[in-house]
Structures are given as C-alpha cells and as structure tokens.
Amino acid sequence: MLKKYISDRTPKNIYIILKINLVLIFFSKKPQHAIVHDAVEFSKQFDKSKLINAVLRNILRDQENLKLEKNLPDNFQKVLDKIFSSSKIREYLYQTFFTKPIDYQISLNNHKEAIYEKRVLPFKSKLLKNCFVQDIGNYEVIHTTHQFFQSKKILDVCSAPGGKSILLHSLGYEVDCIDKSNSQIIKFKQNLKRLGLNIKIQKKDFLKLTKKQNISSILLDAPCSALGTFRRNPDVASKINQSKLKRNQKIQIQMLDKAINILDENGIIVYIVCSFHPFETINVIDKIAQKHKNIRTLSLDSDKMIKRQNGYFINPLKFKDVGGSDIFFVSVLKKTK
C-alpha cells in the first residue's frame, strides 16, 4: 500500500514509522486524527514530520477506495483461489479479509446460550466459568473427527497450549499430552489450573519419542504457517514464503512418519494444521500416502467442511452467520496391514 505514496529513497526509519501507523489506522480503535497527530509529533526528531503528515493524510483520503484484496501477495491469493473454487466462498473471504472472526469460548458443560453444538459461546466481555477460548473451526475439526479414534486413550503429540486436548478431555477421552516448548507448556498448565483439570502434559520432542506401550490413536496438530488464521492475523501472509513453507512441510512429513511408525496396526492419526496452503496440507498427505502403502485416508461426514483430494478444509462460509472462523485442514489416516 505504501509503495504508491513514497519513493524508493524514503529512509528506512520513516518507512517503519509509516508502517506502524498504518497498522494503527487499520487495526486499532484509536481515532485516526490522533494517530496522525502522534506520528507527526514523533517524527519531528527525524526532521520528516511533513512527509509523514502528507503520506498518512493521503492514505486516509483514499481509504474508501483502497481495495485491500488487491494488496494481497499474489501467490497467496492464487493459492486461496485454488482451494476455494466456489466464487461465493472467495467473495466472502475477500470481503472479510481484515475482519477478525469473533472470539469464542467453549463450555466444559452444556450451556443454554451456546450458539453452536450446545458448547460454543461468543466471548463477549468476560470469560465464563468452566470455559476456554478457541476458534469455532478448531472446535469443528475435533467434533467431526474424534469418533474415528480407536480407543478412549489418545496421544496428543503437539498439544500445548491445550485447546484440543482440553476439548477431547471434555468429550471423555484420556489424553496423554506432549510438547517440546517450555513456554507453550506453561500456558497449557495455566489453562488446566484455571479449569481445575487434571491432564498429564510432558515436555518431550515427539521426533525423539520411543514407543513404550500400545498406541492406537494419535492427534497430530502440527506446527505450520498459521495461514488459516489470516483474517485474525493479517501479517501471516506477508511473513511466509516458499522456502519457509517447504521447511514446514519437511517437519510435518517427519512427524507423520514418526506417528505412523509408532502407531499400532488399525490405529488412527488425525492430522490437523491451521493452514490452507497445499504444501502443508494435501501435498503432505500425498507424499505420506506414496511413501507408506499401509496408510489410507478416511471420509468425513461434515457439512461444514470441503473435501479436497485427501483431506478436508473448513468451509468459512458455513460460519458466516455466527461470527466467522479460521481455516483448518484435517485428514484422518488409518494404518492397515
């Protein structure tokens, strides 16, 4: 957006001040005139306050006509268009590109004000007792896939900060949790303490795990680009590039290889990422299916998801009337003989 308003010779510090203030203009609740005023005052020390003032005011003048979707990175839009071939879904996504889905809270007990599945409530001013925060799409992927698990005992190998483990626990599963990140585990433990739950979480690197007992059900909520949260976090699109996506894919494949190796025969892996990029979704499952001839993908029964080859993407349009959702990909894998 800025490129239209400044020259290539604009000093880097001025460019950064402009970027910070555009974020404030488009994403904060601070009045726009106050943002411009503060930016101008701040930039006086660099002797460029007139430039800052002129650029920000020009952008404010043009803001009605600034079509944000035109500023999506090209590749990003191409990929989104490929996954969501329906023009209705694409229109909705582009219209809401910078509209954060509402925050939801999931009740551990049924609740009469729930807007979805008797469990999902809007998160208005305060977190209700016995509730935890989660995107509605996150709820949907677990809700649709949990009945495929082979037993009531699940190994959640990328579990922190615990959104899915807590949900599964509340559905009656015994969840064995591991994660390799200290800071994420701290958040997980805080959630457990607040909710008065007793779920075992251990700090371990899943890729180094040795099998000590039978494992028939694995949840792999793999690390990814988080591109599926692009409306909540618009910066994810500009942070990602091909080489980072390829690096993610390598780790995701290593994790699935590991999960398949430690899984019992007839066991189930639920693979989830909050991404819509083929590199992290359908291509990962494709490569795994080519490599492991004893793996097949299962069909899901959900009118809230769209099937693409070997997995399912959340259909964001299905959550339009309840405040929006992030986009998740899920594929359920069964290990045969």
Ligand X SMILES: C[S@@+](CC[C@H](N)C(=O)[O-])C[C@H]1O[C@@H](n2cnc3c(N)ncnc32)[C@H](O)[C@@H]1O
Q: Which residues bind ligand X (CB under 6 A)?
A: 157-164, 178-181, 184, 205-207, 221, 223
Question: Directed axis angle between helix 74-83 and helix 87-95, to 10°?
Answer: 140
Tokens of 144: 């649709």
What is the H or E stretch that residue 270 is in?
strand 268-273
By beta-carbon proximity to ligand X, the closer residue of 96 and 181 is 181
Q: Please state, in angstroms and rounded to a whole number, the distance separating the CA atoms of residues 22 and 120.
A: 34
By beta-carbon proximity to ligand X, the closer residue of 79 and 259 is 259
Tokens of 107: 């009740």
Reading across the β-sheet that carries 131-134, which strands appear in turn? 120-122, 104-107, 131-134
CB 323 within 8 A of CB 102: yes
By beta-carbon proximity to ligand X, the closer residue of 219 and 285 is 219
CB of 165 to ligand X, least distance (A): 7
Instruction: Kindly compute the dihedral angle of the four CA atoms of residues 307, 316, 277, 270, in this order, to the nearest 10 degrees.
Output: -60
Tokens of 47: 């002797």
By beta-carbon proximity to ligand X, the closer residue of 39 and 162 is 162
Q: Please state, in angstroms and rounded to a whole number, the distance separating the CA atoms of residues 99 and 320.
A: 11
CB of 262 to ligand X, least distance (A): 13
By beta-carbon proximity to ligand X, the closer residue of 75 and 184 is 184
CB of 272 to ligand X, least distance (A): 8
CB of 331 to ligand X, least distance (A): 15
CB of 130 to ligand X, least distance (A): 18
